[in-house]
Chains A and B, each alone.
Chain A
Amino acid sequence: MTTTSEFDTIAAVATPPGEGGISIIRVSGDHAFEAVMPLFKGKALDKVKSHTINYGHIIDPETQSEVDEVMVSVMRAPKTYTREDVLEINCHGGLVATNEILQLVISQGARLAEPGEFTKRAFLNGRIDLSQAEAVMDLIRAKTDRSMKVALNQLDGNLSRLIKNLRQDILEVLAQVEVNIDYPEYDDVETMTTKLLLEKAKEVKASIQQLLKTAKQGKVLRDGLATAIVGRPNVGKSSLLNELLHEDKAIVTDVAGTTRDVIEEYVNVGGVPLKLVDTAGIHRTDDKVEKIGVERSKKAIAAADLVVLVLNASEPLTDEDRQLLADTADEKRIIILNKTDLPLKLEMSELKQLAGDTKIIKASMTQNQGVDQLEGEISHLFFDEGIETGRGNVMVTNARHIGLLNQASSALDDVMSGIAAGMPVDLVQIDMTRCWNKLGEITGDSYQDELLDQLFSQFCVGK
């Protein structure tokens, strides 16, 4: 029995739709051929050689109508990314065609892949190790060039190097504690006192905190900045959204969203991936028949890191506008004053008073005005405020790494409180070692052997 046989066949769009002209639908598993062949008009895919690419068409088997002109890559197990049979349908892209092909593959018995499931299989089938899997995951999930760069940076080992340096610092301290313990009569090495340990703990903690600061912006780069566009009906939210979803901007649609209520859409604004919250809500509430659901906008605001509040300059402020201004007062927000091409009827002095420090951008969606300014403002907010620049471009983006860094930091807190409570150095050392181990879990290094090597290379011990 092989480890692969238990897994079912999965499928997903492997490319971010919108970016480039081609989309790839990847199908992996024992039944990959069964899931694709009934849809494919062209060569018999199960007869072609492995690792070939084959021209043909995807047809809807029920209506026999042609969906798209495609190339299908055929890769048989085990020399594939997942070590399973993999078929990749290269189609012309565009949300509609891509999703339709995916739906067809699913109708043939494949299951929609969970996010990262291909990589998970590669890991479980033993093709890649944990750290590689993590870097690949981050690369896949990178939403913009900038986030791609962070992931590549990490894959390249910049984070590892930084962590390794920190660990080396700690290791030298630990080796000294150990040599004091295991060679108590050895008088050539300075006794490691709690005072020295305290200094080191503070130093390492500062470095870890610095790294953790980058985590926040790293998370935004990886997961996107949750952004809510709010405003009462008919102020131009939908037009703003469409402007932002402009063709040459990377639109990423979470495929899983097709089965969910809420569609998350991503838009690249000056390198910042915006995750637009509840875009469905925006479309629906612009329908004049439906009134804005206050609850719905409140929810969107709560879920957002950034709120874009759209107002209509050609009408006086309404109570609804005032309510939204009040609801978003504590949020990071930008106000879009739309329809400035029409005669101004909104009382600017009142708005300025209600807006406080918030940047107000005058815009006209119909005249294509103000969107660039909005993008500039978001980029400014993102990069110049509240976002730290990481040490040597190192940003921590991975949730596991962040968790481990936090644990390492709390181990150092224990070191400090132990010292404050007058604990002897070999007990305080327990927490220092824990810190060192937690950092080692990030890079996947082992404990004991390193410590002993350090001990013997650093000290000439002999009893």
Chain B
Amino acid sequence: MPEIQAYQGKDFDVIVVGAGHAGVEAALAAARMGNKTLLMTINLDMVAFMPCNPSVGGPAKGIVVREIDALGGEMAKNIDKTYVQMRMLNTGKGPAVRALRAQADKHAYHAEMKHTLEKEPNLTLRQGIVDDLIVEDGVCKGVITNTGAHYSSKTVVIAAGTAARGKIIIGELMYSSGPNNSQPAMKLTKNLEKYGLELKRFKTGTPPRVDGNTINYDETLEQPGDKEPNHFSYETPDENYLELKNQLSCWLTYTNETTHKIIRANLDRAPMFTGVIEGVGPRYCPSIEDKIVRFADKSRHQLFLEPEGRNTDEWYVQGLSTSMPEEVQQKILHSIKGLENAELMRPGYAIEYDVVSPYQLRPTLETKIVKNLYTAGQTNGTSGYEEAAGQGIMAGINAGLRALGKEPYVMKRSEGYIGVMIDDLVTKGTNEPYRLLTSRAEYRLILRHDNADLRLTPKGHELGLISDDRYNNFLAKRKTIEDEIERLNTVRVKPSAEVNAYVESHNEKPLKDGVLAAEFLRRPRVTYKDLLRFIPAPEKPLDRRVIEEIEIRIKYAGYIKKAEENVAKMKKMEAKKIPDDIDFDAIDGLATEAHQKLDKIRPETIAQATRISGVNPADIAILSVYIERGRIAKIH
């Protein structure tokens, strides 16, 4: 075969490798900030492709989508245009954990995102495989593709996903492949290793898809969407909401003892257990064979049948992720109620891929070893479209800021789930594909889905990712909320017969004297809407999102205040910077483990150091004393 001829392609400011959920956000952010941006993808027909669940959002993840929206990202808008079902989860619980989830039309989601990229003025979308980087003196200066193109740039973002030396496993069958039988990137991560980055192998998997015409829905339980309008983007108007009759339902069914018997009888053919799969899989999304083995006493497991889109009859069997042989997969399917006659369309599979151990990253997602090189998404050991997109936008912003010669942006743990995720990754690393859970956030009452815009829109505007128009609307919304809260703290509710009839019908104590409207609203069963029956209405009727915010702030004020006090404490520790050039060897008295971990992770603040496992309070005390002394020494 003749050798590939190298040629010099165009110069860019930012190059993004991979157009999955991380890559598209990274490229859009960089381009929208004014950088000439190249987005490389192995297959243009797989831009923003959903190789697993056809859904976006859920607990913690849904909040990330809104954070991306507040920073001017695309995921929220894209799903708002292409969902087939919308559902608010956890409505019976408190405000901090309510979570929006949408079922996506997989094809429409991809097509819409691709078109958005095409329309973006500063952005070049190109098909091709990036084989190597251009690195000079530890600084990344561009990429080299399999077609011989050399593209130079100021910064590079790698979001290679499971394509990075991907390997698909189905029973005894095993072959190199990216997601859904796409071409894998066999050279890129190998070359990253060459530049000094340490890699790991992770594993994930996906369930089989079946033909919807062969499902007996009567045997399953319908899971419809919501009637009440809700969208991910703060900009999508309620009138765009799909009527319930135009939404598609999901269907609930269960595995049973027969299913489990089939799986147990075939464990000798399960790559998960025969030692074929070496990559570490996620505990929170185990394969069905893993569930049966680890939770042997459970007689059934839930399965959700989810539509993959409007113009297809392909259905996704959520909960049945597996790498069992195709023959066994069919037996498993046919043992399940409603799927007795289901025709398999695509078998489930496990996929192994390369991951860059995330302790090698700065909180900006720039690698510590290669300057101007950023990584995002599954490449950093996460799983999930939302986690990928959240890192993608941050990597794109920071790669863009660097290209513009500006200071980086790091989101604090107290500012967003994206901040929590990145801090977890770079501080603790991860031994399995990392998924965001609300329990990972210590300030989840502050990181709500309703206030992501209040938390992050100003930053998005400052970065040039939020238009002036949108920003002005945001400022007006914020002012309305504040004004109304102030008004409710001056207007009084009088103990009229009408009021007391109302409170008694709601199992609340009757009023004896007049109370402030805000105080009245603090009663658990009193809503803002009801409150307006007893006090004058505001000048203009309020938007439902404004009302939601007002209710939360008033009803949970006590808890919010406590959380904010904790945030303030944490910020003090965040302010204690650890010098970049600190020599941990010079510090006497650090425990060996702490010394090793600190040297490996090189935390940037004392707060970050406290979160490293194996670094105990004594080490923090010693480290603080040492830094304090260094500071004093410099002053004198």
Tell me the complex Cα distance, A83–B301, Å: 58
Which of B321, B442, B563, B622 sits near A124, CB closer than 8 Å? B622
Interface residue A344 (Cβ < 8 Å from any Cβ of B):
no
Task: Specify the chain B residue showing the minimal Cβ separation from A3.
Answer: B588
Tell which of B223, B298, B591 touches A126, judged by Cβ atoms closer than 8 Å.
B591
Given known A-B contacts A181-B439, A182-B60, A186-B302, A423 and B291 have beta carbons under 8 A apart: no
Min CB–CB distance A454 → chain B (angstroms): 10
Closest CB in chain A relative to B633 CB, distance in Å? 8
How far is it, in angstroms, between the C-alpha of A88 and the C-alpha of B619 when the chains are bound? Answer: 28
Listed stretches A15-23, A255-263, A445-453; interface member:
A445-453
Is B440's CB under 8 angstroms from A448's CB?
yes
B559 within 8 A of A: yes
Q: How far is the CB of B528 from chain A (nearest CB, A)?
A: 17
Q: Known contacts A3-B588, A129-B616: does B90 contact A181 (CB below 8 Å)?
A: yes
Q: Check A126–B590 contact: CB distance below 8 A.
A: yes
- Which residues of chain A come closer than 8 Å to B619, judged between CB atoms? 126
Q: Evaluate whether A83 and B589 lie within 8 angstroms (CB atoms) in the complex, with A430-B562, A452-B439, A460-B295 already known.
A: yes
List B425-453 residues whose CB lies under 8 Å from chain A: 437-440, 442, 445
Residue of A1, A133, A182, A446 touching B439 (CB-CB under 8 A): A182
Among B94, B99, B285, B591, point to the contact of A427 (Cβ < 8 A).
B94
- B625 in contact (CB, < 8 A): yes
For the A-B complex with A430-B562, A460-B294 known, give 10 more contacts whose Cβ atoms are closer than 8 Å.
Answer: A126-B622, A127-B589, A129-B616, A180-B93, A181-B438, A185-B304, A188-B298, A188-B302, A462-B284, A462-B321
Cα A19 to Cα B227 with chains together (Å): 81
Q: Report how far A20 CA is from B302 CA in the complex, Å.
A: 71
A187-B302, A456-B284, A460-B286 given as contacts; is B93 within 8 A of A181 (CB)? yes
A162 interface residue, CB < 8 Å from B?
no
The reply to whether the CB of B491 lies closer than 8 angstroms to some CB of chain A is no
Q: 8 Å CB contacts to A: which residues of B67-112?
A: 89-90, 92-94, 96-97, 99
Given contacts A182-B439, A185-B304, A448-B440, contact A462 B445 (CB under 8 A): no
Min CB gap B57→A, angstroms: 12
Contacts of A183 in B (CB 8 A): 59
In the complex, whether A47 has a CB less than 8 A from a CB of chain B is no
Residues of A within 8 A of B (CB): 1-4, 6, 83, 123-130, 133, 178, 180-188, 418, 421-427, 430, 444, 446-449, 451-452, 455-456, 460-463
Instruction: Find chain B residues with CB under 8 A from A125 CB.
Output: 588-589
Q: A182-B60, A455-B439 are in contact. Are A3 and B626 (CB under 8 A)?
A: yes
A384 to chain B, nearest CB (A): 40
Residue from B321, B439, B626 with most neighbouring chain A CB atoms (10 Å): B439
For the complex of A and B, the 4 pairs showing the least CB-CB separation, nearest first, are A126-B589, A422-B524, A424-B94, A460-B295
Q: Which of B's residues lie within 8 Å of A, judged by CB?
A: 58-60, 89-90, 92-94, 96-97, 99, 223, 283-286, 291, 294-295, 298, 301-302, 304, 318-319, 321, 437-440, 442, 445, 524-525, 556, 559, 562-563, 586-591, 613, 616-619, 621-622, 625-626, 629
A130-B618 CB under 8 A given contacts A181-B90, A425-B93, A456-B283: yes
CA distance A449 to B283 in the complex (A): 13
Instruction: Considering the complex, give the chain A residue whose CB is closest to the CB of B295.
Output: A460
B318 interface neighbour in A1, A124, A126, A463, Cβ under 8 Å: A463
Contact assessment for A427 and B616 in the assembled complex, using a CB-CB cutoff below 8 Å = no
- Minimum Cβ distance to chain B for residue A429 (Å): 9
Contact A452 B437 (CB under 8 A): yes
Residues of B contacting A1 in the complex (Cβ-Cβ under 8 angstroms): 586, 629
Residues of B within 8 A of A426 (CB): 93-94, 96-97
Is there contact, CB below 8 Å, between B298 and A124?
no
Report the minimum CB–CB distance from B40 to chain A (whole Å).
Answer: 32
**Nearest-CB residue, chain B, relative to A417:** B558
| Given A125-B588, A455-B439, residue A427 in contact with residue B304 (CB < 8 A) | no
Give Cα distance in the complex from A181 to B90, angstroms.
7
A460 in contact with B439 (CB, 8 Å): no
- Nearest neighbor of B630 in chain A, beta-carbon distance: A1
Residues of B within 8 A of A187 (CB): 302
* CB-based contact A182/B616 at 8 Å: no
Question: In the complex, which of the residues A128, A423, A447, A451 contacts B94, with contact meaning CB atoms closer than 8 Å?
Answer: A423
Complex Cα distance A137/B438, Å? 40
Which residues from A are CB-within-8-Å of B524? 421-423
